[in-house]
Structure 1
């Protein structure tokens, strides 16, 4: 068994990101974004001149809507639309508010299956083009892959950001994004809120974690640029998020308002490099963060509402003239300091273009109209953002061809070639962290009878099976006899006893762990299983930091999969069974549980057979 401790191969490629960053810094605006085409701008400005104020304001909003169809949703979705938005259907939403974009969610029943998604996209575009102002829509979603995934199987599921960071290949990152982009484009989804450009330097970060490529700013920059190029090369607008950097938070901005204590110098060193790099690479859109960074804005406004951050730094210092979109305006982080009627107005004054998913569209839409009519926001300021949005729509070819073909859906989405590529990429991400007794790879002769137990978090897309079942099935396909038992993230004494009983007579036990802490019942479960004398293998299916709480407790081997989607779990099973090499290395350091000031496993750590 060989030990890898070098700074992964992709760190050698960070000169590309550094060059892009230096170019963007040296010539603000010059390399920051693709220059506008003068003749195209004239056409777009003519479109804007024919819009009413209500139509211009509508173009700024990207809104959720319930239903699988633009015109004929199920009754439950009609009821939800009436309760939350005051309209019955997506088509009615578009005609009432003239929205410039729609965002898809699994829970809103927008993403049942590929043909349905494409038909919905076509229906939305038809409704938008049939009314005023008669321009196509930006249809968006959060398809980061890994733990954030709105479109599930039979679409191709790919490794998420930290898994790709562990693989260390810019080529794999770009290829994954291109595959994802081609499938999104076939579905009529033309703006993806990915990749995540945050540098995860805080292991306790509750909202980013494995959504980040890692903790090294230059490495994150290189991987983020690769994914931007992959998405945009496939005809989908990429969105780098969350500016100015959400990687060092211990509060979830969905439920609170995080405060980042970085100095300006620390921000420049830790958070800024990925954003500088993607701006230099021509990223189509950048998403804001609902975080407070006092060093960047002494007024301590959330970045989404901060003119010093969005205009002063993002627009003027970094030279970005692409589309700036807020994170969801329904999140508590942006609602903590100001009311829902003030938030969209302040966001526009700060420098935002797209207002994403306000909790009450009527309140937000009318608040912007009132601000313009009252002189607080100029109509010229609104037109500036509408022009950026229309430029993006034009660049994506939506004025020329807003519709998608069901034949292309069948040909592209979940194709055999895409799935094979996903499996190959995933195999290069699984990380073997510890194997003190050289147990791995398992032998079908010596370890034929396996038990898989542990946490079963819900599939991020709602379409894949529980992790323990997926792993057991994968081992079965590899020639082992494997059974599964879901013990959850907080197994009680009865569940632990059931697992111990099931382990008797087995040749090895695989435990899927999910965010283990010092007092976690999952750790108690692992201890009980180790006490049976059966070799125990732990597989972290989210954060790789679990191993810090399991080291020295008699565990035979520990691995990290970085997500619990089928593609990553199947790859982990192949690694454990010796059908693939554990090629991944840590893209973040793992600190010791008993002394967080000391590193247990450094960046670049990983074992191989």
Structure 2
């Protein structure tokens, strides 16, 4: 090597080293986050700015965004009183003035929530082309306090928003809440959680879904699973994340990793079906779409529920009620139900919610999962390695204390804390939990463990630096046309063609169609609505009676009455037992070639239909009539696949094993199997 070459080589090595040093220095240089303040002063240090949250005029460690989250958490815990810590461990339904979202009659202790009617009728319709769209309905609450009292006296910083106003109203309210929190002694921000707000759903009872909102309107969770499109699922989650963060919602009480293995369970509508692998894929994409690969300033922190799987309920009865308190595993498939939760943990879910149920016939103590140390500490924490927040379901202390009914309220808190619960849902009053610690039943060190996890979530979300949103921008962003176009595509992809043996579909242009929806809400004079939509490019002609029609399209919306209309006995999945006049439907089928569309919020049994004449069947899972008509006309070819098995009879339902997916039940169980779904170029069976 010549001297010149050696010089060039040494120079290049020197420059490369210098660049590495510069890059390291740049990497260590703190990046100033955007700060937002309503009342506290801004501190400046070496050209960087910080919020003086505790108003002492100096920069405390928890106020210093340059420091690791763990350091900030420990400093803040050291400044919190016991009263503040205990209040921090409650999450309560919040009240929004004028939202008309509350019933004042609290349910009786130990009996579950009061009954709520969750249905819609023609008078509730907001958009005439969407029979699922309705006004918000009243919901029962457990224990709530006025927002000011909750923040200033009870020291609450976790809230559940169940109201259903406009995007701008939510954003304005969230900003006011954060301003109130900022004015408190330590300036700790709030976090606002919600149940799903982006799905077309039948049962929008409290704790299940908010129903139709100002947000983009996507298929129900079963419909998302029916798409079999993980990429579009991730896009959905990212769009919903943008809408949620725009209005100040930063915590999702969702999604359900439960499996629909017991067809009588009345929460199937909120699941992703019966298959553990499909549900795992859906949960993974949703968490990554809402949270990102890690929590950050643009994330919505997710609460995956209901560990270790709420699907295998004894006789399908739900554990909101004492008559449905038991989960059981007659098929020995307990581990199968853990798969989606393992996927959630791998994806980084911020929190996990145990269900109310008490395990029966397993090696676990027969107490509700929030009290069950073997379930939370041994299985979830140690075996599965979950490090995040354990968030109880709403009301296990006062209302659904299955297996510990004989314990006092302080003793229940003691047992739940020993099991590992960090955040208690369903009460706004921290008095009893505070007394539990003061009486020595629980140590303050144990309280600190939970507060550390809860504070870490807030710091990672950037709420200490900027908890505020732009209400005007939120109004423009939420439910915008671009977002809804993606949602409209998902609606069409969610529809499943189950039978087309007469080759009626797709309909030809100029076909005369009598389009009827059948939904019995118990309030309207008639459950029948005749639709005559216009503006379809395929130029179908819609007529007013079946006599005028070439083809009848009837869309059935069966309903078991909603979760909180439970009567303490297993539901019958036959159509006639779920508010459908089967005689009327069979008359339609016999009168003309009929396209039968059925909305499956549960795996309804179809054996009462005239099977010889029901030659064209479509399955929907929460969608619009426009989406259905696009499938019927051939404007969009059906691609959906069933997310669960449809049983052949009610007898098959009764004989099922609650923890076993329908696809693994014995031969003869299924009318249509998990994964069934045709297209127009398919050969029907």
Alignment TM class, shorter chain as reference: 0.7 to 0.9
Q: Show the 5 A alignment for 1:383-394.
A: 383-394=448-459
Structure-2 separation of matches of 1:450 and 1:134: 61
Q: 1:115 aligns with which of 162, 168, 181?
A: 168
Report the counterpart of residue 48 of structure 2 in structure 1: none
Report the counterpart of residue 672 of structure 2 in structure 1: 601
Report the counterpart of residue 142 of structure 1 in structure 2: 195
Report the counterpart of residue 431 of structure 1 in structure 2: 496
Structure-2 separation of matches of 1:286 and 1:395: 17
State the Cα distance separating 1:285 from its structure 2 match. Answer: 1.0
Report the counterpart of residue 247 of structure 1 in structure 2: 311
Q: 1:308 aligns with which of 365, 374, 383?
A: 374
> Is 1:156 aligned with 2:216?
yes
Report the counterpart of residue 238 of structure 1 in structure 2: 302
State the Cα distance separating 1:324 from its structure 2 match. Answer: 1.2
Does the 8 A contact of 2:404 with 2:412 survive in 1? Answer: no
Q: CA RMSD of the aligned region, Å?
A: 3.1
State the Cα distance separating 1:337 from its structure 2 match. Answer: 4.3
1:473-521 Cα offsets, whole Å, 9 max, x none, are: 478686445479xxxxxxxxxxxxxxxxx53333313132315516434
Structure-2 separation of matches of 1:299 and 1:159: 38
> Is 1:523 aligned with 2:590?
no
> What is the TM-score with the length of structure 2 in the denominator?
0.71
1:344-366 Cα offsets, whole Å, 9 max, x none, are: 443222111111123xx33xx22
State the Cα distance separating 1:170 from its structure 2 match. Answer: 1.1
Structure-2 separation of matches of 1:286 and 1:87: 23
Report the counterpart of residue 171 of structure 1 in structure 2: 231
Structure-1 separation of matches of 2:105 and 2:474: 29
Distance 1:231 1:450, change over 3 A: same
Distance 1:197 1:468, change over 3 A: farther
Does the 8 A contact of 1:253 with 1:332 survive in 2? Answer: no
Does the 8 A contact of 1:98 with 1:133 survive in 2? Answer: no
Distance 1:176 1:189, change over 3 A: same
1:111-157 Cα offsets, whole Å, 9 max, x none, are: 21110011111111111221244211110010163425326343101
Does the 8 A contact of 1:506 with 1:534 survive in 2? Answer: no
Report the counterpart of residue 284 of structure 1 in structure 2: 350
Structure-2 separation of matches of 1:278 and 1:258: 25
> Is 1:545 aligned with 2:604?
yes
Partner of 1:248: helix, strand, or coil?
coil
Q: Show the 5 A alignment for 1:38-187.
A: 39-68=68-97, 89-105=146-162, 110-143=163-196, 145-147=199-201, 148-150=208-210, 152-187=212-247
Distance 1:58 1:267, change over 3 A: same
State the Cα distance separating 1:172 from its structure 2 match. Answer: 1.4
Report the counterpart of residue 121 of structure 2 in structure 1: none
Report the counterpart of residue 642 of structure 2 in structure 1: 586
Does the 8 A contact of 2:256 with 2:306 survive in 1? Answer: yes
Structure-2 separation of matches of 1:123 and 1:297: 49
What are the ranges of 5 or more consecutive residues in structure 1 without an aligned counterpart? 1-36, 459-465, 485-501
Structure-2 separation of matches of 1:333 and 1:62: 16
Report the counterpart of residue 34 of structure 1 in structure 2: none
Structure-2 separation of matches of 1:474 and 1:386: 57
Of the structure 1 ranges 403-412 and 313-322, higher mean CA displacement relative to structure 2 is found in 403-412
State the Cα distance separating 1:454 from its structure 2 match. Answer: 0.5
Q: Show the 5 A alignment for 1:289-438.
A: 289-294=355-360, 298-329=364-395, 333-334=400-401, 337-338=404-405, 342-358=411-427, 361-362=428-429, 365-438=430-503
Structure-1 separation of matches of 2:73 and 2:178: 18
Does the 8 A contact of 1:510 with 1:536 survive in 2? Answer: yes
> Is 1:192 aligned with 2:248?
no
> What is the TM-score with the length of structure 1 in the denominator?
0.80
Does the 8 A contact of 1:67 with 1:78 survive in 2? Answer: no
State the Cα distance separating 1:571 from its structure 2 match. Answer: 1.8
1:394-423 Cα offsets, whole Å, 9 max, x none, are: 111111110111233034211111001101
Distance 1:50 1:414, change over 3 A: same
Does the 8 A contact of 1:104 with 1:139 survive in 2? Answer: yes
Distance 1:248 1:78, change over 3 A: closer
Distance 1:391 1:344, change over 3 A: same
Structure-1 separation of matches of 2:156 and 2:284: 30
Distance 1:289 1:467, change over 3 A: farther
Does the 8 A contact of 2:329 with 2:361 survive in 1? Answer: yes
Partner of 1:102: helix, strand, or coil?
strand
Distance 1:385 1:472, change over 3 A: farther
State the Cα distance separating 1:312 from its structure 2 match. Answer: 1.3
Of the structure 1 ranges 160-169 and 536-545, higher mean CA displacement relative to structure 2 is found in 536-545
Of the structure 1 ranges 570-579 and 515-524, higher mean CA displacement relative to structure 2 is found in 515-524
Structure-2 separation of matches of 1:602 and 1:281: 29
Q: 1:575 aligns with which of 628, 631, 654?
A: 631
Distance 1:132 1:336, change over 3 A: farther
Structure-1 separation of matches of 2:154 and 2:187: 13
Distance 1:95 1:229, change over 3 A: same
1:369-393 Cα offsets, whole Å, 9 max, x none, are: 1111111111111111111011011
Distance 1:87 1:200, change over 3 A: closer
Does the 8 A contact of 2:85 with 2:451 survive in 1? Answer: yes
Report the counterpart of residue 131 of structure 2 in structure 1: none
Q: Rg: which structure is higher?
A: 2
Q: Show the 5 A alignment for 1:425-574.
A: 425-446=490-511, 448-455=512-519, 473=533, 479-482=539-542, 502-507=545-550, 508-515=552-559, 517=574, 519-520=576-577, 521-533=580-592, 535-547=594-606, 549-550=608-609, 552=611, 554-563=613-622, 565-566=623-624, 569-574=625-630
Partner of 1:158: helix, strand, or coil?
coil
Report the counterpart of residue 218 of structure 1 in structure 2: 277
Partner of 1:560: helix, strand, or coil?
strand
Structure-2 separation of matches of 1:605 and 1:84: 40
Structure-2 separation of matches of 1:95 and 1:173: 40
Partner of 1:583: helix, strand, or coil?
coil
**Equivalent residue pairs, number:** 530
Does the 8 A contact of 2:367 with 2:402 survive in 1? Answer: no
State the Cα distance separating 1:544 from its structure 2 match. Answer: 4.6
Q: Show the 5 A alignment for 1:15-26.
A: none
Structure-1 separation of matches of 2:68 and 2:531: 56
Partner of 2:556: helix, strand, or coil?
strand
Structure-2 separation of matches of 1:299 and 1:121: 41
1:169-217 Cα offsets, whole Å, 9 max, x none, are: 111111111111111111100001112111111111112x131112111
Structure-2 separation of matches of 1:529 and 1:221: 40
Partner of 2:517: helix, strand, or coil?
strand
